[in-house]
Structure 1
Amino acid sequence: MLTALVQLHDALQAAPLPLDVPGTVELRAAREQLIAQLEDYLLPRQMTVAAPLLVVVGGSTGAGKSTLVNSLVGHRVTTPGLLRPTTRSPVLVHHPDDAQWFGQDRLLPGLVRVDHSTDDRSSLQLVAVESVPPGLAILDAPDVDSVEAENRRLAAQLLAAADLWLFVTSAARYSDQVPWQHLKQAADRGTSVAVVLDRTAPDAVPTVAAHLARMLAARGLKDSPLFTVAESTVDADGLLAPTLVADVRAWLVSLAQDPTARSAVVRQTLDGSVRLLAQQAHAIADAVGGQVAAAEDLRSAAATAYAEAERATLAAATDATLLRGEVAGRWRELAGTGELLRSLEGKGGRLRDRIASAVKGTGQQADRVSIAIESAVELLVVDHAEAAATATVAAWRELGTADQVLSAAGAGLGRASSDLRRRVEGEVRAWQQQLTELVRADDPDRATSRYLTHGTRGLSVTVAVAVLAADATDPAASGADLATTLLDGVYGAPHAAQLVARGRADLARRVTGLLADEQRRFSALVDGLAVEADAGRQVRSAARRVDDRRFEQSRADEGAIQP
């Protein structure tokens, strides 16, 4: 059983529910409660079944819990008072010989052990007294209906770690809703419960006790002992008269001194807690499936937005859209439009001579074209990356499952990465350098470039212009036909087409890579949620193993009591 519980604990830990799928808020709380129940009670208790019986005294505000605990112990160990809430941090009272059972690595390991009174809710004050019999420990918990949310949370945590609830209420508070919600949980879990009707006028005790007993029976707690403590004054030490709490104390002492009875209480609570834990774990497993589907929807939304951005960017990068404005002006300065056409249309003479005399540009003019292209491509990629980021955030908001993720990521997620311009600039420069290398590789003896004033640099820029207009419907409108004409004249049409195709493929690869990096910002957020498709199956499998061990244990217990 211990191994099965550890496996279920680990499976639950590996099954977070980070996305805001409908109903997840409740399931997140349930998952946290299951993990806390395992860590605070089930695992420590399964490892130390022989440990003292832990009685957690809980109940309504002003019901007199601390006064009752002090009176049961015989002197003040926890502080009662008129101001509410009184109990802020829990106090655990035990016999000195049982101290080893309550170390930091045992029950409620998340609470730091201290030996003094404190208001620190993350601490557990240990008080060793001879008046508490060996085999019994009493823990005074905060009010379950405290005005402070942290007190209510701590009270629920402590009650979930109890072998036995000693639930304290009063004539004025016994019908309040909040305490009954906790008692219902105890009934569902099979937790051993005893109820103390405290601070009730003596003449009202029979009537109130009878009504309270009927309420307990109606809610599945008919077998829970019901004690009454009539309203009375306290002595100078703040204690009730011993006779008023004698029945409660005698019953607790009898449990502590009877190993069989004590074991029966522990086994009942342990078995009920394990049973409910395994049942509730299946709901968590189901929820993981919804998380996986939601995570896939987020990935798909990002993929759709960036696929559209890639399509639009690549289209605009090759349909002459960029051959406008400064790029067009710089290209015309380099090419010397009219002279080039007249030169290539003329007959006779050497073709290379005609090209050399026609191209008026210089190396500096080629650089200006290159810089203009770099700027144009940079703006194109950044604009579409911005649009994709905005579209993805909008799609995620519409899905309604990633609000927490978006909030944590901040407003910058809806924009392109801050370093995208720098990265685009580097990629475009690398692309143009690659074009230069292609031109140089196709002219190993520099025969062609010698006839051009600007050499391979001018030819690589010409290839770049041809790439930017590769899919243009009217190349002449942008002047890109001049680039094609020049390349055809230098290399021949088939070879020039291959050169442009290679340059185009390299540009597409770089643009695709840049946008893929941008999309990965969103993918990384989804990956960081640690929503694993196999997590639900692991939880379900672990819950079944716990059920199997529980069944085997029940059969073994039944066999042990057979005559």
Structure 2
Amino acid sequence: MTTQPTTVLEEFAEHLRELDLPLPVDGVDRAREEAAAALSQLGDHVIPRLESLDAPLLVVIGGSTGAGKSTLVNALVGDMVSRSGAIRPTTRRPVLLHHGADEPWFTGSRILPGLARVHAGGDHDPEAPRVGDTTGDVDPATSLELRADDRIPQGLALLDAPDIDSVARGNRELARQLLRAADLWLFVTTANRYADAVPWDVLRTAAEREVTVDVVMNRIPERPGVAEELAEDLRGMLERSGIEVSRLFLVPETRLDERGMLPASAIGELQQHFTHLAADGEARARIARRTVGGAVAGLAVSARDLSEHAAAQELERARLRDEAQEAFSGSRERIDEALGDGSLLRGEVLSRWQDVVGTGEFLRGVESLFTRVRDRIGQAVSGRPAPSVAAEQALGTGLVHVVLDETARGAERAEAAWRTTPAGRQLAEGADLSRLPESYREEVSAAIRAWQGDVLELVRSEGADRRTKARVLSLGVNAVGVALMIVVFASTAFIPTGLEVGAGAATAVVGQKLLETIFGDEAVRRMARVARERLTERLDALVAERSEPFLERLDALAGNASAETLAEDAAALEEIAREIREDS
């Protein structure tokens, strides 16, 4: 691999920070937790370990409530360095014990950067929970207590973690975070608790991620054969669960002294093991590489899982987008149907158009039609709007109503479709997406007026030559423009093939004949095409505007980390894990 492993890991961390899983699709809560855990593990352990393979081996001591972890730590050091007692939870702020010479490795943010450092005997952390706080909903500790003690062998550090099954949720979260930062996990259980379900779930996770695990079975009754029997049973359970344990240490039930300390003899084997491990740099490096290699392989699995979840989010966003677009596409089609089925050319529009062209026999000849229309316009009553202007206004008003009605129905259909699924309901929550904004009616009216202005300008430009201009001016630009608007709205199906035609078809034919009289057949077809194209553009924009509130909500969800990006991360992480294992 030409790219440095830490570069790949840092890019993956950035993709995790960018990952957006906002929609309530199946498994999203677990995916969010997995993303947070992976990001935590990258910063707490994997990246810093690969950057400094010669750093002290971090041994995290974890286990169930009341297993005696703190008592064990105190015995390993030979002093009361970690709080122990009957009140639960006991260990609230994690304690990291290290040799004085190793202090520079832990005072900075090399590992567990999210936890502030507090030195033993130094400033008290005001956020550290009190010992007696047994609330099940408290936040995890925000600091890490560092204790330098030269009785800890150089090259080794011990971290006393909270209970993995603590009654305090914050403690449980912190315990799992610390275990993800471990090079070596020392799991502490007891003779009567070693089969509990929660620890085994954590052990299986450790096995899947190839964390090196040592196990201490504590408080074994001192009766002949009991230790051997329990050890055999525990080993069998581990083997059946596919959990590989490096060492199993048996600690007998022992009376504590007046300070609450175990006698050194009770943990002699464990003490000797750590002493030898600290002195064997090659063994420490082998454990560190094995664990970090397993962690990277586990991150590759997480990356693939998250890629699938990101894909599910993308599919859900696409589905919701399709539903919204389909609803408004249907509105757009229904607007075209209303404009082409002749319904707009009835009622008020027909009445105003008849004021312009008259009623009765309208196919008595082209020149007769032109003359009659010109005469009627010239006879308009003074002080009233010209018949052509009234017809133009009626057409505009009718078109505005059609657009408003159909876009409102489109928004209602889109919102109704969204509310049938949890993801859509979440997006629609708190917003009346189907309500028309107060400004929308005026926007539609302005757009239709602008289109009518386009049509009038088209008439002026087409009638530029002297003869045509004279004809246009004799009727008035508005009257000719209304005729062109009517032709645009009329479908070819309205052109009559017999003597009986409906009012809408008759209206269209009069407009068509009038325009042909002025401009000729080819020019009328060209003008109608251009006018329709311009109307289409404005209608498309109006309908698209009403879909924006829906699409904007979807666009706001889009994260930068795609399913494809995460899949590429997974492949790169698998390659890094393979290289680490080959070097081990």
TM tier relative to shorter chain: 0.7 to 0.9
- Tell me, in whole angstroms, the C-alpha distance in 1 between the residues paired with 2:295 and 2:320: 37
2:343, 2:504 within 8 Å by CA — same for their partners in 1?
no
Say if 2:532 is the partner of 1:504.
Answer: yes
| Distance change (3 Å), C-alpha of 1:128 and 1:462 | same
1:309, 1:385 within 8 Å by CA — same for their partners in 2?
yes
Say if 2:285 is the partner of 1:263.
Answer: yes
Give the equivalent residue in structure 2 for 1:313: 335
> Structure 1 stretch 372-381 or stretch 286-295: which is displaced more?
286-295
- Tell me, in whole angstroms, the C-alpha distance in 1 between the residues paired with 2:484 and 2:301: 68
1:320, 1:471 within 8 Å by CA — same for their partners in 2?
no
> TM-score with structure 2 length normalisation?
0.79
Q: Secondary structure at the match of 1:221?
A: coil
Where do residues 282-297 of structure 1 align in structure 2 (5 Å cutoff)? Answer: 282-285=304-307, 294-297=316-319
| Distance change (3 Å), C-alpha of 1:127 and 1:345 | closer
Give the equivalent residue in structure 1 for 2:462: 442
Match of 1:52 among 56, 61, 69: 56
Instruction: Kindly state the Cα deviation for residue 457 of structure 1 after the two structures are TM-superposed.
Output: 3.8
Where do residues 167-316 of structure 1 align in structure 2 (5 Å cutoff)? Answer: 167-199=187-219, 201-203=221-223, 208-219=230-241, 220-228=243-251, 230=253, 232-233=255-256, 235-236=258-259, 239-285=261-307, 294-316=316-338
| Distance change (3 Å), C-alpha of 1:233 and 1:147 | same
| Distance change (3 Å), C-alpha of 1:105 and 1:405 | farther
Give the equivalent residue in structure 1 for 2:543: 515
- Tell me, in whole angstroms, the C-alpha distance in 2 between the residues paired with 1:52 and 1:422: 72
1:90, 1:141 within 8 Å by CA — same for their partners in 2?
yes
Q: Secondary structure at the match of 1:56?
A: strand
1:52, 1:135 within 8 Å by CA — same for their partners in 2?
yes
| Distance change (3 Å), C-alpha of 1:89 and 1:187 | same
Say if 2:460 is the partner of 1:460.
Answer: no
- Tell me, in whole angstroms, the C-alpha distance in 1 between the residues paired with 2:455 and 2:431: 35
> TM-score with structure 1 length normalisation?
0.81
| Distance change (3 Å), C-alpha of 1:477 and 1:283 | closer
- Tell me, in whole angstroms, the C-alpha distance in 2 between the residues paired with 1:349 and 1:420: 39
| Distance change (3 Å), C-alpha of 1:5 and 1:467 | same
Output one character per residue of 1:351-387: Cα deviation in whole Å (capped at 9) or x when no partner. 6752433555844766655555444333322333333
Counting matched residue pairs gives 549
1:313, 1:384 within 8 Å by CA — same for their partners in 2?
yes
| Distance change (3 Å), C-alpha of 1:91 and 1:390 | farther
Output one character per residue of 1:478-536: Cα deviation in whole Å (capped at 9) or x when no partner. 8734545554555456544543333222111211233334445555555555478x955
1:381, 1:424 within 8 Å by CA — same for their partners in 2?
yes
2:155, 2:278 within 8 Å by CA — same for their partners in 1?
yes
1:110, 1:122 within 8 Å by CA — same for their partners in 2?
no
2:77, 2:152 within 8 Å by CA — same for their partners in 1?
yes
| Distance change (3 Å), C-alpha of 1:417 and 1:472 | farther
- Tell me, in whole angstroms, the C-alpha distance in 1 between the residues paired with 2:163 and 2:249: 20
Give the equivalent residue in structure 2 for 1:161: 181
Q: Secondary structure at the match of 1:54?
A: strand
- Tell me, in whole angstroms, the C-alpha distance in 2 between the residues paired with 1:12 and 1:64: 37
- Tell me, in whole angstroms, the C-alpha distance in 1 between the residues paired with 2:350 and 2:430: 37
| Distance change (3 Å), C-alpha of 1:358 and 1:121 | same
2:187, 2:214 within 8 Å by CA — same for their partners in 1?
yes
1:196, 1:226 within 8 Å by CA — same for their partners in 2?
yes
- Tell me, in whole angstroms, the C-alpha distance in 1 between the residues paired with 2:577 and 2:36: 22
Instruction: Kindly state the Cα deviation for residue 191 of structure 1 after the two structures are TM-superposed.
Output: 1.0
Say if 2:153 is the partner of 1:133.
Answer: yes
Instruction: Kindly state the Cα deviation for residue 212 of structure 1 after the two structures are TM-superposed.
Output: 2.9
Give the equivalent residue in structure 2 for 1:108: 112
- Tell me, in whole angstroms, the C-alpha distance in 1 between the residues paired with 2:558 and 2:534: 35
1:324, 1:478 within 8 Å by CA — same for their partners in 2?
no
Match of 1:121 among 136, 140, 143: 140
- Tell me, in whole angstroms, the C-alpha distance in 2 between the residues paired with 1:517 and 1:100: 60
> Structure 1 stretch 164-173 or stretch 66-75: which is displaced more?
66-75
Instruction: Kindly state the Cα deviation for residue 428 of structure 1 after the two structures are TM-superposed.
Output: 1.5
- Tell me, in whole angstroms, the C-alpha distance in 2 between the residues paired with 1:173 and 1:376: 80
| Distance change (3 Å), C-alpha of 1:150 and 1:321 | farther
Instruction: Kindly state the Cα deviation for residue 275 of structure 1 after the two structures are TM-superposed.
Output: 3.1
Output one character per residue of 1:445-476: Cα deviation in whole Å (capped at 9) or x when no partner. 76346535xx4344434433443344674651
| Distance change (3 Å), C-alpha of 1:348 and 1:156 | closer
Consecutive unaligned residues of structure 1, counting only runs of 5 or more, are: 558-563
> Structure 1 stretch 484-493 or stretch 151-160: which is displaced more?
484-493
Say if 2:468 is the partner of 1:430.
Answer: no
Give the equivalent residue in structure 2 for 1:354: 375
2:97, 2:147 within 8 Å by CA — same for their partners in 1?
yes
Instruction: Kindly state the Cα deviation for residue 167 of structure 1 after the two structures are TM-superposed.
Output: 1.5
- Tell me, in whole angstroms, the C-alpha distance in 2 between the residues paired with 1:264 and 1:381: 73
Letter of the 2:113 counterpart: P
Output one character per residue of 1:190-246: Cα deviation in whole Å (capped at 9) or x when no partner. 21112223355545666544533432343333533324252544645x544554445
Give the equivalent residue in structure 1 for 2:497: none
1:98, 1:135 within 8 Å by CA — same for their partners in 2?
yes
Give the equivalent residue in structure 2 for 1:561: none
1:334, 1:365 within 8 Å by CA — same for their partners in 2?
yes
Identity score, percent:
32
- Tell me, in whole angstroms, the C-alpha distance in 1 between the residues paired with 2:23 and 2:369: 75
